[in-house]
Amino acid sequence: MKALTNPLADEGSNVAGEYLARARSHIDAGRPREALAALQIAYGSDHSQATAHRVSGLADGLDARKTGLTSVRVAYLSDHLIGPLPTLLRAQSLLSGLLVESYVPDFDTWQQEIADPASRFYGSQPEVVILDLTLERLAPELVASFVGLTPVGVDDLIARTTQAITAAMDELRRRLPSARVLVHSFIAPSHPVLGIYDRLAAVGQVDAVDRLNASLRREARERGDVYVVELAVLAAAVGQRFFDRRMYVLAKLPYGGEGLAVIALEHAKYLRALFGCAKKVLVLDADNTLWGGIVGEDGVEGIRLNEDSPARGYLDFQRYAAELARRGVVLALASSNDQSDVLEVFRVRPEMVLRESDFAIIVANWKDKAQNLLDIARELDLATQSFVFVDDDPVQCARVRDALPEIAVLQFPADPLGATDALARWGWFDTLALTTEDRQRNALYRSDVARQEFARNAGSPDEFLDSLGVRLFVARLGPGSLARAASLTQRTNQFNLTTRRYTEADLQARCNDSSWIAMTARLVDRFGDIGTIGLMMLHLEDGTATIDTFLLSCRALRRRVEDALLALAVAQAQMRGSSRIVGIHVPTAKNTQTATFYPAHGFVSLDETADGGRRWVTTSQITFPAGVSVAYEGQGW
């Protein structure tokens, strides 16, 4: 008999209960921000289905505008019931600052919903469509009457199944051109009927499903904005509990509780990546997180870092963090220690995988952790919303969760060997592309810290800027910069005038359209090449240029780059015959610093937009700021 309760889960559940009650009273009292914080703490402390359900229900009382949440409309299309997937996704996404509204059609009506332009599905105006279909209904022969199928028959089944799905994809893309589509891949039976002969036979079940999935991936890639959710990978991680035949028999729900949890989490990863909520910074505690033991008590030589003991878990965790850093996650260290003790570990212990230089910033002191996290955010110029914090101490975890509920908090597990999985499974840092800038990001942030040193030693801010030697290189958006530009629209929240998120396919369409001017900007200063940091897109129509997108990576702020790029964008539009330049500002919880951008450059207020923004207009030229040089690079000028 398995133990009935796990004391830690109970503690989480009690904490959750308390915060759920608080959330309820905040909602009743009209305090949506406090309610959101309480709901985030509740679900952050306890990821049980019951808590997810309650959090999702109470989130009805949150107003996206008043709480700074980004609302996302999701619709599910499927040939079975999906049970609690929408509630789990809603609770999970709330942790990342997304408020998900879902449309779930009646049982097995997905084809009618797609075919009928007046369906409630289209009426729900989904931004993300999740297509979850099963072989049992699409191609039952592959599952239940496989023996006797000929090679040609199997090829035909694969082609017909692929065709059924691509027809759905194309219809969705035609009627909902800006929606993103997530398609579930298929899973072969865990016990193919031909057993060990399955892989040897001219046609095997596993091979047939592999080929079907491969053709699905190919079709998705060709279309752009269609992503294949690899269900088999999720099922392998969960094991037998992924599916639940009882639930299928009772309710046409194929998945078990654990399957539902990982599927909803996988959907949440896509939503985060698509809507600018992926995490960017990993803040690590040191004692009992990077190594076993406490350096202040056990000494530099006494801490445990051994490949041949459970302490290997710390080294594995360091290796994983180093990999994350190479894919563009910014590492920071926040430890309750004397700084000299922590630095000595890096210098003295050769087993350490992470080096001092792998961290953008190292903070070791005796201040409050939440305060240290705020200091790190200020130093790196990144919002705490983009932080993941890992600490072994439950008190510190609770403290940070309570003070900064927007931070994802992971308590380093009691068994260090489980730590890498405990972090990796959340996919907090997942993105839909990997760019050169991503791979160089830690070096960029380290040079930022050097710049700040330089700034502190410089005289006035103007003297600092003049001596920084800022040079901008502006290029036409093109094939080589699409991935980075899409990633900028998805990641940039602070200096982003309209916060419109685009995928590579969206941007490609604008490159091919002569009524658009789309440009990227690369920044170089005396400390080096910072990479592509800005994107400007203007739509030209009847003598008016509308600035659809104007954004800057936060690494480029406060050095007059925004002034130079606005002057350049306006000049480009004027050269193309636009006498009126219209700038749009859509306020969000995070882009307050852009509120005065257009009026400060002489634009006058025109009108309000449907999405709560304001349009500003000018017919003048904008003066280029002193101390910033601008050059064009690449083709098309």
Partner 1 sequence: MVSAIIRETVARMLGLDPNAVNEATVPSNLEGWDSTLFLELVLALEERLGFQFDADDIARIHSVGDIEALARVRHAG
Contact residues for partner 1 (CB under 8 A)?
1-6, 9-10, 13, 17, 20, 48-51, 53-54, 57, 81, 83-84, 87, 246-247, 249-251, 253, 256-257, 260
Q: How far is the CB of 630 from partner 1 (least distance, A)?
A: 57
Q: Which is nearer to partner 1, 244 or 525 (CB)?
A: 244
Strand-strand pairing, 98-103 and 70-78: parallel
Give the three-state DSSP class for 8.
helix
Q: Which is nearer to partner 1, 83 or 328 (CB)?
A: 83
CB of residue 251 to partner 1, shortest distance in Å = 5
User: In the bound complex, what is the minimum distance in angstroms from residue 56's beta carbon to partner 1?
Assistant: 10
CA atoms within 13 A on the CB side of 85: 27
Q: Closest Cα partner for 518 from 560, 481, 555?
A: 481
> Taking a C-beta distance cutoff of 8 angstroms, is the pair 612, 65 a contact?
yes
For partner 1, give the closer residue by CB, 81 or 154.
81
Enter the tokens of residue 491: 């990641």
Residue 66 CB, nearest distance to partner 1 (Å)? 22
Coil/strand/helix, residue 519: strand
* 13 Cβ contact partners less than 8 Å away, ≥ 6 residues apart: 46, 48, 51
What one-letter code names the amino acid at 460? S
Nearest Cα residue to 281 out of 342, 233, 217, 328? 328
Nearer to partner 1, 48 or 111 (CB): 48
Backbone φ and ψ for 314, nearest 5 degrees, come out as -65, -40
Of 92 and 532, nearer to partner 1 (C-beta) is: 92
**Closer Cβ to partner 1, 168 or 253, answer by number:** 253
Give the C-alpha separation, 133 to 80, whole Å. 8
Q: How far is the CB of 388 from partner 1 (least distance, A)?
A: 25
Q: Supply the minimum distance, in Å, between the C-beta of residue 55 and partner 1.
A: 10
Burial of 575 (0-12, 13-18, 19+ CB in 10 A): exposed
Q: Based on CB atoms, which residue is closest to partner 1, 6 or 436? A: 6
Q: How far is the CB of 83 from partner 1 (least distance, A)?
A: 6
Question: Which is nearer to partner 1, 77 or 188 (by Cβ)?
Answer: 77
Give, in degrees to the nearest 5, the angle at Cα 258 between 324 and 43.
Answer: 70
Amino acid letter, residue 38: A
Q: How far is the CB of 242 from partner 1 (least distance, A)?
A: 13
505 — alpha (psi -120 to 50), left (phi > 0) or beta? alpha
Cβ-based nearer residue to partner 1, 27 or 517: 27
Q: Identify the helix (H) or strand (E) that includes residue 203.
A: none
Least distance between partner 1 and beta carbon 59 (Å) = 13
Q: How far apart are CA 30 and CA 42, in angstroms?
A: 19
